[in-house]
Amino acid sequence: MKAADFAYRRPADLAGALAILSAEEGDIAPLAGGQSLMPMMNFRIAQPTMLLDLADVAELRGVTAGPDGLRIGAMTRYVQLAADPLVTQGAPLIGLALPHIAHAAIRNRGTIGGSVALADPAAEMPALLLAMAARIELVSLSGRRVVAADDFFLGLYETARAPDELVAAIHIPADASRRRVGFYELARRHGDYAMAGVALTAGGATGQPLASPRIAFFGLSDRAVRATGAEAALKDAQPAGDTLGAAVDSLSALPINGDLHAPPDVKLKLAGVVLRRALAGM
């Protein structure tokens, strides 16, 4: 099948993009890497009236480091994240997870902003941002606002972004570079969307109890979800024995949905497996 008819605009800069987004009628879809949007259009799951191609918007690209941490422009591609020492050192959790996000050809085009804006429940990036306490910068003609990842992912492909806003950047806090990180996912084939996965960060030195752990799952629910029960069970504790058992037991309180891969009870079992394996690697 081919995409339904659509208009196409390719503004030269951010001001031009925001002007179109604000002034034009209809369903305007920003186009980033197109790795999700184009297949969705070809299957007619998405039928935007206009594609707003962000390829020339230089203001949305690039990574900068400051005292508060990293600012990663929305149009920064996965392949660029993997190659940038600012990212691999400032956000080691992203470096750990990137090889598991899709396949190399998709990482060559796919962007961090596209993944965040799409909010696929099985995508890694929303869970990584929850685990790092990252923030999402949104921009419109009315100005800029920054939303905590905890408040950004609202449901199935649903976010706090308003239709006249673009995702401008992702902010990673400075302490993300110092926290211990863990990641594990189970997928049918490497590069496929995960059946279940988890991303973790915690303070404290290796081998010491986990200080203020943040644990986020993907592939389980209608969105990436924090496992606050497991965080409470593991706080200031060694992830072993009864403590680990209590953390795994607490996962039954998560809002777990079945999907094409597995029913909810199997997903719950997989959640416990990925949590144990991610903690073992920290």
Footprint on this chain of ligand FAD (rule: CB under 6 A): 29-37, 39, 54, 74, 101-102, 106, 109-111, 113-115, 117-118, 120, 123-125, 166-167, 193
Closer Cβ to ligand FAD, 101 or 210, answer by number: 101
Closer Cβ to ligand FAD, 30 or 90, answer by number: 30
Of 197, 118, 112, nearest to 155 by C-alpha is 118
Q: How far is the CB of 251 from ligand FAD (least distance, A)?
A: 21
Q: How far is the CB of 167 from ligand FAD (least distance, A)?
A: 4
Q: How far is the CB of 282 from ligand FAD (least distance, A)?
A: 22
Q: How far is the CB of 73 from ligand FAD (least distance, A)?
A: 9
Phi and psi of 197, rounded to 5°?
Answer: -155, 160
Q: How far is the CB of 275 from ligand FAD (least distance, A)?
A: 19
| 178 burial level (CB within 10 Å; 0-12, 13-18, 19+) | exposed
Closer Cβ to ligand FAD, 36 or 250, answer by number: 36
Task: Please list, in sequence order, all residues whose beta carbon lies within 8 angstroms of the beta carbon of residue 75, skipping any fewer than 6 positions away.
Answer: 32, 54, 55, 57, 60, 61, 111, 113
Which residues in 20-49 are b (16+ Cβ under 10 Å) and which e? bbeeeeeebbbbbbbbbbeebbeeeebebe
Q: How far is the CB of 6 from ligand FAD (least distance, A)?
A: 12
Closer Cβ to ligand FAD, 33 or 182, answer by number: 33
Quick check: 214 and 197 in contact, CB under 8 A?
no
Closer Cβ to ligand FAD, 32 or 215, answer by number: 32
Q: How far is the CB of 171 from ligand FAD (least distance, A)?
A: 14
Closer Cβ to ligand FAD, 111 or 201, answer by number: 111
Nearest-angstrom CA–CA distance, 226 and 84? 28
- Residue in the shown chain whose Cβ atom is closest to ligand FAD: 114
Closer Cβ to ligand FAD, 183 or 193, answer by number: 193
Of 251, 282, 281, 250, nearest to 266 by C-alpha is 251
